[in-house]
Amino acid sequence: MDFTLGLFLAIVLSGLIWLVDLLFLRKRRPAESKEPVIVEYARSFFPVLFIVFLIRAFLFEPFQIPSGSMIPTLRVGDFVLVNKFQWGLRLPLIHTPITRGSPVEAGDVMVFRYPKNPRIDYIKRVIGLPGDTIEVKGNDLYINHKLVPQKYIGTFDYRPEGQGAEGMVIPAREYAQELGGHTFHIIEFDTPEAQMNFGPFKVPPHAYFMMGDDRDNSNDSRFWGMVPQRNIVGKAMFVWFSWNAEDWSIRWKQIGRSLDGAIS
């Protein structure tokens, strides 16, 4: 079940128990009798749950990276903090916008509800804004018919997911790319099978074109289409924790990594 929905139901249930006791049951209890355990728990948990709900719904929400589609920027097991208010506040559960907020910019890292299944959250980088024309030719990205330049960084040792620390390493190329004031790294492969052509395609109004930084291993807008504005969850800001489940280690160098701006 959706965590936000579960949290909301817990708030409603604890609030009702506390309210019913306050308005009706407390008056009927003898003065010397103890408060029922269920009422005590409801009274204690209600304010805590309510505050957590408000923070998650309108301020910040944690998100765990589920796949390697954002390598080398984000790894499986990274935990990022998502800003829920910068792009405008939305009512929880029904996702109706209530404030405008700042505009989404190319290069931002966005958490959004997957258009094919809104119960699943995805994280990708914003490549195309409404009205932009996007085209991919092999490993070259064009926005509004202009090639997005990329600077070669070096060879990247790519290790497929699920193969452990001793898994096969595939050499890839690492590049630095810049979009909308954001400088970030991407990886690409030399094999013809990894390269693909897409577009040209014009991004419709109130929608965004998304791609992963692992350009050849990302299930993104090239395959399932645009992200409607109503599907936005929030802007990923930085990595607050990173855990490598394959060798049970903490990635200390990844913790604190900013996703909002240039690479340090």
What residues are annotated to the active site?
69, 124
Task: Judge contact between 218 and 124, C-beta under 8 A.
Answer: yes
Cα separation, 35 vs 39, in Å, equals 7
Task: Judge contact between 250 and 258, C-beta under 8 A.
Answer: no
Cα four-point dihedral sign 143, 144, 145, 151: negative
Residue bearing tokens 């394959």: 246
Residue 60 CA to its chain's centroid (Å): 11
- Extract the tokens encoding 101: 């907020």
Residue bearing tokens 């954002």: 70
Task: Judge contact between 69 and 217, C-beta under 8 A.
Answer: yes
Taking the alpha carbons at both ends of the chain, their separation in whole angstroms is 38
**19, 140, 160, 175, 211 from 170: Cα distances, Å:** 61, 21, 8, 16, 21
Beta-carbon count within 10 A of 132 CB: 15
